[in-house]
Amino acid sequence: MVKRALEKGHKVTAFVRETTKFSLIHPNLKVVQGDAMSQDSVSNAIKGHEAVINALSAVDHAHRMVYITHIINAMRIHKVKRIMAMGGIGALQASEHLKVYETATFPREYVEVTQAHIRVLDALQTSRLDFTFVCPPFIQDGERTGNYKSQNSYPTPGWTIQSGDLADFIICELENGDFIGTKVGVSNP
């Protein structure tokens, strides 16, 4: 996502756990080491920005709520309205009253993380921020092809997406705002 944002001319701050694991160098890139468990660390990273892309992951699923709470608080303090956040396909609707993770075919080993994603979505829905909650299926490493589909609230055909296409979708959505206030499915057909 950082690479695609830079390609499109954006100034980017990458908030990372360890700067030594982040090798990208660009004149419009600032790399900040921080801890998403620290409200001050998150707030300092968000200050002065126009938008946030949250792609934070956690082994302890409870940490996802700490992260999003810190992000929302910092965005309110610094008057940042736009956020893109990552979830997973299980949070999308299978039907009007049934989420994908509630179906019989959804892998049980992903239920707990999906429930954590849904709690993050709930926090975003009550935040009064201009959010988009992106729910991809399995992400494969790969370049941007430009051949992907997106859809409000429901999965799109396809069980994978190339990481380059996911990054492209996120940066384009950040710019265009077609899915503000919604969860969105995106995949390669």
CATH number for 152: 3.40.50.720
Instruction: State the pLDDT at residue 37.
Output: 96
pTM reported for the whole predicted model:
0.95
* CB neighbour list of residue 33: distance below 8 Å, 6 or more residues apart: 16, 17, 18, 19
* Beta carbons within 10 angstroms of residue 45's beta carbon: 23
User: How many domains does the chain divide into?
Assistant: 1
Instruction: State the pLDDT at residue 19.
Output: 92
Instruction: State the pLDDT at residue 72.
Output: 98
Q: Give residue 176's domain range.
A: 2-187
The pLDDT-based confidence of 69 (bands split at 50, 70, 90) is very high
Average pLDDT in the 79-100 region? 97
Separation of alpha carbons 70 and 93, rounded Å: 27
Buried b (16+ CB within 10 A) or exposed e, 59-91: eeeeebebbbebbbebbeeeebebbbbbbbbbb
Instruction: State the pLDDT at residue 120.
Output: 97
Percent of the chain with pLDDT over 70: 100
Instruction: State the pLDDT at residue 23.
Output: 92
Structure tokens at 147: 């051949």
What CA–CA distances, in Å, run from 149 to 106, 155, 164, 169, 189? Answer: 21, 9, 13, 9, 7
Instruction: State the pLDDT at residue 12.
Output: 97
The pLDDT-based confidence of 133 (bands split at 50, 70, 90) is very high
The pLDDT-based confidence of 86 (bands split at 50, 70, 90) is very high
